Amino acid sequence: MNRTFSKNDTNICKGIAILFMVLHHSVGRYYDSFDLSWYFDNSYDILSLVTVIFSSAGKVCVSLLTILSGYGLSKSFSHYLTDKEKQMKPVRFAFSHIIQFYGILWMIFPFKLIQFFYVFGKNAFSGKAAIGIILNIFGIAKIFKMPVIYDWYVLTIIILYILFPILYAVVKKSPIVALICSIVPWMLRLFIYKETDANKVFFYLLPFVVGVIFEKTNVLDLLYKKRGLRYKIISCVLLVTAFVLRLVFSLYFDVIFAIAIVIFEIQILSGFKNVKKIFVLFGENSANIWLLHTAIIAFLDISMYIKFIIAVISSLLISVILEAIKKRIGYKMLFIRLKRRIY
């Protein structure tokens, strides 16, 4: 039996996150606090109520994926630090992973371009189409106040990757200091309560740092060794409590809710083989589904339930086909070689 938090566990958590994300965007109706007046005002049936509640909580997908990104990046870098033949500077490591990330983005770019012009029209760039498209190819259009083709989270990931060498060094020296520093943007947004491009990006510094701390302290591996009945019950109680608190405190409780999901995966989901296979499949294709599903949803003006089913199935199928094509034409190998040259 596996006694550590493995790649399979990461993919299960990613699978949960990506299904939450598609639900969140398919429903298109959610609230930011535990206020049921919207329910009575709109006379929703009980199924709609439950769906919108889960759709609202589905925003946790961002914090969950960000924790996993921090954890995965830190684990990968720690691996290279222990191998004397493969040791590298943190900056080169971060840059190599940005290149790898671009490899994922560029394969999806045609789909996002079609979605963009369908939604905003051919004159969306106001005569600066060439510049706008180039900036979007590299995921940095938002910095230059240009219309964005990719989702806002693309820029967030790029910035977090750039900051990784600094964050890794701070966490290694003092996890507490890193945690306190990463809470600052979270606190600013909480008390100022104003969403800007800057605080929308840096708000997710906290879950990223949490992921790095989890890897450096081996917390998730330790949790794997505590899997008795008592811990399973605690994980269930923690998940339900975090879910309810997330409904009350909205976005500001996402990190705790995301951590509760990871613990629940370790204690409960990892023990169900058939369920694991489904979530692993979605987790392995999560990056493509993340980028594809909004392009599909943009063309669907139907029931939110059917929209969710179509978006999930079609984005998964397209992802599987794209991965096969990438392997067939040597696209993946091209970016692996680019990554190795940077190493």
Nearest to 292 by CA among 7, 4, 18: 18
In whole angstroms, what is the distance from residue 3 CA to residue 190 CA?
A: 38
CA distances from 146 to 141, 194, 295, 337 (A): 5, 21, 19, 32
- For residue 147, the model assigns a pLDDT of 80
CA distances from 313 to 8, 62, 113, 129, 201 (A): 21, 21, 21, 32, 29
- CB under 8 Å to 297, separation ≥6 — which residues? 25, 26, 307, 311
Give average pLDDT by consecutive 10-residue segment, the chain, 343 residues.
82 96 82 53 70 86 96 89 62 89 92 83 69 87 83 91 94 93 81 61 90 94 87 95 87 92 94 88 96 92 91 96 93 80 68
Nearest to 66 by CA among 177, 204, 180: 204
Q: What's the Rg (C-alpha) of the chain?
A: 20
pLDDT, tens digit (0-9, with 9 covering 90-100), for 184-219: 887 777 676 665 555 577 889 999 999 999 999 999
- The angle, 0 to 180 degrees and rounded to 10, between the axes of the packed helices 60-82 and 152-173 is 50
In whole angstroms, what is the distance from residue 269 CA to residue 5 CA?
A: 13
Task: Give the Cβ contact number of residue 172 at 10 Å.
Answer: 14
Task: Indicate the residue type of 261.
Answer: I
- For residue 2, the model assigns a pLDDT of 57
Total-model pTM? 0.90
Please give the helix or strand (H or E) that residue 9 lies within, else none. helix 7-27
- For residue 125, the model assigns a pLDDT of 66
- For residue 124, the model assigns a pLDDT of 67
In whole angstroms, what is the distance from residue 19 CA to residue 196 CA?
A: 27
- For residue 38, the model assigns a pLDDT of 54
